[in-house]
Chains A and B, each alone.
Chain A
Amino acid sequence: MIKITPEELKTITKYIHDICGIHLDASKKYLLETRLSAIAEENGCGNYQELYLKAKRDARKTIEKQIIDAISTNETLFFRDTGPFELLQHKILPELIDARTPRSALMKTPIRIWSAASSTGQEIYSISIVLKELLGDTSKYSIKLLGTDISESAVTQASTGKYNKFEIERGLARDKLTKYFTMTGGFWKIKDEIRAMVNFRKLNLMLPFSGLGKFDIVFCRNVAIYFTLEDRKKLFNKIADTLEPDGYLIIGSTESLTGICPRFVPKRHLRSIFYQLK
């Protein structure tokens, strides 16, 4: 394993912050070495300064992508924390549908939901399963579900909707598994009816959100924890801008917006919290 010098540690952590917002301090030295050593070697670099220069010069950004994939935590699971999905099914969606159902029966009820750091897709697919369970026939609704992540490989896996037995068994009840997935070649694949409800694209939450449009519900869970306080403030401010005035925001179960975005007020329902604009 290639050792990192104090100088390189500064350069690399700043570089990582610049490309994806992930904030690493000096205590993460060992993590950097274990995660980046192989990338350096693979790209013919003898040290991290070389890797940094090569990554910056690389017009196709292959090394940058490798570094993001190596540094970011894609850890996620179906129905993570359960609370938010119960909240969605029993409170948020019924409320939203009440508010959005058009007078004319000819028009469809719009529902737009965004999973802002969708990783390998489990979160947004859990949301689509909730929608399907709640609504049954979805033809009266105009549903737009969007999953975005900075990691290209995560977005690719999310798009294929294929999961191995370890990914699938965590969090997903047996009845939902057989109802919404099919087994192919040792993998569980999400059924087309669910897959078709969701779009995925690559998006860096540190950059301006262009062309995203507005959402009724935003899930932004377990990603801001990797950012600095300043970056979190900017992020949730931008999210507030993408949310409909009566929209809903859900953050990770151990996250807080106190001191981060005064535009949101927390509301409690049973054992879960959601946020709405003031």
Chain B
Amino acid sequence: MTMSILVADDDPVIRRLFEKRLQDAGYTVKVAVDGIEAAGYLDRSHFDVIITDLVMPGDIGGIELLQIAKERDVLTEVIVITAHSSIDTAVAAMKKGASDYLEKPVNFDELFFRLDKIAQLRSLVRNADDLRNAMDVTESSAAQTIQDLEIAAAGFQLKLDRIDDILRKSSLSDYERIDKALQVINE
């Protein structure tokens, strides 16, 4: 399963670099010139990972984009890119749910390592989800069967009780008892 990645950065050189390196590595990549454009893309498509610069022009910076992305889908992983001088903001971003931060200039080996980890995690989550779904299906079909059996068993029990009553009725002849019991059985 290839992961889809959205990159938001206002620097055209960095944007192109990200696009090329990520595409070469086999990811599906979309780039946005700022947070506003990125948020627009989020409206239309789903991304597994968002890589965003923390500081971008306009109303939607990295933190805001992170929040928008997490509101859409909590499972979207967000990696923030930060200048060395603003580690504090990066830490704040982590507290808001970013999965990682990378310092500028971006070391791509490091980025690929993080992306691999994210991919592994997602496949585990996916597996757990599949298992849960499979279990739900099994469980609800078992539940239906058990319900039917439960009601059927209760019905039989009721019949047995009635037959028991009939067979014990001393006011009836043997013939009448058998006849009545058979009637109950054949109902």
Is residue A254 contacting chain B, with contact meaning CB distance below 8 A? yes
Q: By the criterion CB–CB under 8 Å, are A268 and B147 in contact?
A: yes
Q: By the criterion CB–CB under 8 Å, are B139 and A254 in contact?
A: yes
State the CA gap A167–B102 with chains docked (Å). Answer: 30
Select one of B74, B142, B149 contacting A165, CB under 8 A: B74
Select one of A254, A265, A273 contacting B142, CB under 8 A: A254
Is residue B184 contacting chain A, with contact meaning CB distance below 8 A? no
Is residue A258 contacting chain B, with contact meaning CB distance below 8 A? yes
Select one of B139, B149, B154 contacting A265, CB under 8 A: B154
Q: By the criterion CB–CB under 8 Å, are A256 and B139 in contact?
A: no
Question: Number of B residues whose C-beta is below 8 Å from A?
Answer: 14
State the CA gap A258–B160 with chains docked (Å). Answer: 14
Is residue B85 contacting chain A, with contact meaning CB distance below 8 A? no
A254-B146, A255-B146, A256-B146 known; A268 vs B139 contact (CB < 8 Å): no
| Shortest Cβ gap from B1 to chain A (Å) | 22
Is residue A44 contacting chain B, with contact meaning CB distance below 8 A? no
State the CA gap A165–B139 with chains docked (Å). Answer: 24
Instruction: Name which residue of chain B comes closest to A81, CB basis.
Output: B143
Q: By the criterion CB–CB under 8 Å, are B139 and A273 in contact?
A: no
Is residue B165 contacting chain A, with contact meaning CB distance below 8 A? no
Residues of chain A within 8 A of B150, CB atoms compared: 256-258, 266, 273
State the CA gap A268–B147 with chains docked (Å). Answer: 8
| Shortest Cβ gap from A232 to chain B (Å) | 15
Chain B residues 140 to 162 lying within 8 A of chain A, measured CB to CB, are: 140, 142-144, 146-147, 149-151, 153-154, 157
Instruction: Name which residue of chain B comes closest to A268, CB basis.
Output: B151
Is residue A34 contacting chain B, with contact meaning CB distance below 8 A? no
Q: By the criterion CB–CB under 8 Å, are B154 and A266 in contact?
A: yes
Instruction: Name which residue of chain A comes closest to B144, CB basis.
Output: A271
State the CA gap A86–B143 with chains docked (Å). Answer: 16
A131-173 interface code vs B (CB 8 A; 1 in, 0 out): 0000000000000000000000000000000000100010000
Q: By the criterion CB–CB under 8 Å, are A256 and B154 in contact?
A: no
| Shortest Cβ gap from B72 to chain A (Å) | 14
Residues of chain A within 8 A of B157, CB atoms compared: 262
Q: By the criterion CB–CB under 8 Å, are B149 and A253 in contact?
A: no
Residues of chain A within 8 A of B144, CB atoms compared: 271
| Shortest Cβ gap from A243 to chain B (Å) | 17
**Most central of A165, A253, A257 by chain B CB within 10 Å:** A253
Instruction: Name which residue of chain A comes closest to B145, CB basis.
Output: A254
User: Can you offer 27 A-B residue contacts whose CB atoms are under 8 A?
Assistant: A81-B143, A165-B74, A169-B74, A253-B139, A253-B140, A253-B143, A253-B146, A254-B139, A254-B142, A254-B146, A255-B146, A256-B149, A256-B150, A258-B149, A258-B150, A262-B157, A265-B154, A266-B150, A266-B151, A266-B154, A268-B147, A268-B151, A271-B144, A271-B147, A272-B147, A273-B147, A273-B151
Q: 3 tightest CB-CB pairs across the interface, nearest first? A: A253-B143, A258-B153, A266-B150
Q: CB within 8 Å of A: which residues of B?
A: 74, 139-140, 142-144, 146-147, 149-151, 153-154, 157
